[in-house]
Amino acid sequence: MRIAVDAMGGDHAPREIVLGAVKAARELSGLTEIILVGDSAAIQRELDAGGGAPATVRILHAAEVVGMDELPAQAVRRKRDSSINRAMELVKRGEADALVSAGNTGALVVAATLMLRTLKGVDRPAIAAVMPTRKGPFVLIDAGANPECDAPLLRQFAVMGALYSRVILGRPNPVVGLLGIGVEASKGNEVTKEAFGLLKDARINFRGNVEGHDLFEGEVDVVVCDGFTGNVVLKTSESVARAIAHWMREEFTRNPIRMLGAMLLSGARKSMKARMDPEMYGGAPLLGVNGICIKIHGGSSRCAAFHGIRVACASAHEHLNEMIERAIESSSGAK
Amino acid sequence: MRIAVDAMGGDHAPREIVLGAVKAARELSGLTEIILVGDSAAIQRELDAGGGAPATVRILHAAEVVGMDELPAQAVRRKRDSSINRAMELVKRGEADALVSAGNTGALVVAATLMLRTLKGVDRPAIAAVMPTRKGPFVLIDAGANPECDAPLLRQFAVMGALYSRVILGRPNPVVGLLGIGVEASKGNEVTKEAFGLLKDARINFRGNVEGHDLFEGEVDVVVCDGFTGNVVLKTSESVARAIAHWMREEFTRNPIRMLGAMLLSGARKSMKARMDPEMYGGAPLLGVNGICIKIHGGSSRCAAFHGIRVACASAHEHLNEMIERAIESSSGAK
């Protein structure tokens, strides 16, 4: 597999991205080439500082970078020579089998949609965020690509999410839930009520509506919603976790006895953190475009970059997109 | 103040509700009467078991109860003699100044809307959930009454939420945010994009769009959204907190050293729990109906019931609804 990596995207780029890529090049079998796309001097500097790189790592220069706060459509159109555009071109021309980026999510969606186009039967691509629960990860789709969705689009998301859950996350028969505000089919907004019927008839293991309450219980493998709701869920969850961590730090350092207790629990707190860390699951694929694109968190460390590349390899290896097209086709009898 | 309490609503009714009401009758000055509405024998039993009640507590018998899972509109119409209907009638007839219920939220919304009607200038009532942050509570409005909202409705919610935050929660000049998926006015769905303009022109301290990330940072006092998104946010937040508590318990009991550490931190964990507990803020008012209605959590303890009654008293005392009508009127120039 040949993976194009946007070396300039994310808060800790290029360093963490480059180091994660080097680790991937050293450790992942089946990875034949990593193309680090971005400012060649800056990338080379990180490679040198990191003690060099295997021969499978090469650099493709791109002079521009899309900032995290830039307007996506504008940035993609104007900054022709940005790392995300150049990396996407590699995928488009078949010179890379997949792409990994920690950069501007909107720009990734726009660039992928413009250059790769959507898969057959898919109207719009969706971001499938992978999130931890008590019992393993679940896929939240769409996590932000489409603020407005109609019911047939939600059905496509459900099929794509279920496939990803099965093929990449290894859930044998993924349980799919439709995010709503009550378990009855009659509860929700107009779009979810219509989607309920479509999902019931799709070839997926549809459990019905799920509520916010159920998300982190691990009873459902795929949660389907519009990109507005999904993005709010994703960010709210991070916000709650951060607030709790903050309260914990405050309370655990209030007096010497508590500080001793916290010391005895430092191992426990580390493994809690690891279990709650979505980095392990390899980021969020952009599903539905004609090419493998993996979005990793803007704050990605080398570990997140490594896992993103691992999942990109696996997705390409499994021919994920061909499988999505077939699944969409066979499930769309009810459309 | 005379407060009608739905003694039969909630998972721990009537016991916890009755005991909370007795505590309120004993401790809250300005409370002249508490009317416990529900099965009089069951209520009397709890009063006797709790050591009797002050003279300000009386019982109004209601033979039926609306279950937590019943369809709201049906239940309100068919169960004429339910505790929620009887309690609502007291408010309607001016025999009570406010109502508190831990029962079926949908039934509360339906009964209030049918019997009390909405305030002048308000098209639909909204649930204002009060949630903890690092720096104090914020109001999430609408937390579930209206799955579909248009932009003018969101403006009404913003005005009502800001007023509640100022008058009842004591925030001097409440910062209002519109829940979105990016800070720019152009980010969001069609409704939030239109609402952005209306909120900018309303007489509130509008900060612009806020994201899920910002909710628990305490930078914003009122978060405005449709009832679908709000309900998802509310329940997702609870779900995340519960999952973290679960991980904590698992990790903290893994070996004897950790168990010792957890013991030393038991005080810290208790005060964390208290700080994260929304019960203290007195539940979620249903704003926009012509009467004070306070919804407390279905799992309410006596403490939650007490605080709900406290806030109901304060809301009636402050003439909250007259203030809402005036605020809506003066802010609707831009409508």
How many CB pairs (< 8 A) connect A and B?
184
pLDDT at B122 over 80: yes
In single-letter form, the type of residue at position B117 comes to R
Q: How far apart are CA B73 and CA B71, in angstroms?
A: 6
pLDDT band at B333; cut points 50, 70, 90: low
Classify strands A292-295 and A98-101 as parallel, antiparallel or unpaired: parallel
Q: What is the rounded average pLDDT for all residues in chain B? A: 92
Task: Give mean pLDDT in consecutive 10-residue pieces for chain A, a chain of 335 residues.
Answer: 96 95 95 97 95 94 93 92 97 97 94 96 96 89 94 97 95 95 82 93 94 89 96 91 86 89 88 77 91 94 95 96 94 59
ipTM (interface pTM)? 0.86
Classify strands B205-210 and B2-6 as parallel, antiparallel or unpaired: unpaired
- Which residue of chain A comes nearest to B247, CA vs CA? A272
Q: What is the pLDDT of residues B7-38, one digit of tens each?
A: 999 999 999 999 999 999 999 998 999 999 99
pLDDT of residue B176: 97
Structure tokens at B185: 């006015």
Q: Do B235 and A213 touch (CB under 8 A)?
A: yes
Structure tokens at A88: 């996407």
Which residues in chain B are closer than 8 Å to A268, comparing Cβ atoms? 248, 251-252, 254, 258, 261
Q: How far apart are CA B70 and CA B73, in angstroms?
A: 9
Q: How many CB atoms lie within 10 A of CB B293?
A: 29
Structure tokens at A44: 């080379």
Q: How far apart are CA A94 and CA A79, in angstroms?
A: 22
- Which residue of chain A comes nearest to B251, CA vs CA? A268
What are the backbone angles phi and psi of residue A59, rounded to the nearest 5°? -110, 140
pLDDT of residue A334: 44
Q: What is the pTM of this model?
A: 0.90
Q: What is the pLDDT of residues B273-288, one digit of tens each?
A: 887 777 777 789 999 9
pLDDT of residue A122: 96
Mean pLDDT of B240-269: 88
pLDDT of residue B245: 85
Q: How far apart are CA B201 and CA A195, in angstroms?
A: 36
Round to the nearest angstrom and report the end-to-end CA distance of chain A. 35
Structure tokens at B189: 């769905």
pLDDT of residue B185: 77
Structure tokens at A307: 């896992």
Mutating which of A232, A269, A273 best tests the B interface, going by the most B Cβ atoms within 10 A? A232
Q: What is the pLDDT of residues B163-219, one digit of tens each?
A: 999 999 999 999 999 999 887 777 888 899 999 999 999 999 999 999 988 898 889
Q: Do B237 and A235 touch (CB under 8 A)?
A: no
pLDDT band at B334; cut points 50, 70, 90: very low
pLDDT of residue B331: 83
Q: What is the pLDDT of residues B73-112, one digit of tens each?
A: 999 999 999 999 999 999 999 999 999 999 999 999 999 9
Q: Do B148 and A190 touch (CB under 8 A)?
A: yes
Q: How many CA atoms lie within 13 A of B8 on its CB side?
A: 24
CB-based contact, A263 to chain B, within 8 Å: yes
Instruction: Give the H/E segment covering residue B183.
Output: none
- In sequence order, what DSSP letters do the residues of A242-266 get, joined into one string? HHHHHHHHHHHTSSHHHHHHHHHTH
Q: How far apart are CA A164 and CA B280, in angstroms?
A: 42
Out of B238, B251, B263, closest to residue A268 by CB: B251
Q: Do A261 and B257 touch (CB under 8 A)?
A: no
CB-based contact, B173 to chain A, within 8 Å: no
Q: Do B251 and A243 touch (CB under 8 A)?
A: no
Structure tokens at A17: 């991205």
Which residues in chain B are closer than 8 Å to A144, comparing Cβ atoms? 181
Mean pLDDT of B116-131: 96
Cis peptide before A172 (omega within 30 of 0): no
Helix (H, G, I), strand (E, B), or coil: what is residue A29? coil
pLDDT of residue A333: 56
Q: Are B31 and B65 in contact (CB under 8 A)?
A: no
Query: With pLDDT > 70 as the criterion, what percentage of chain B qualifies?
Result: 99
Interface of B with A in 217-246 (CB under 8 A): 217, 225-229, 231-244, 246
Interface of A with B in 46-105 (CB under 8 A): 71
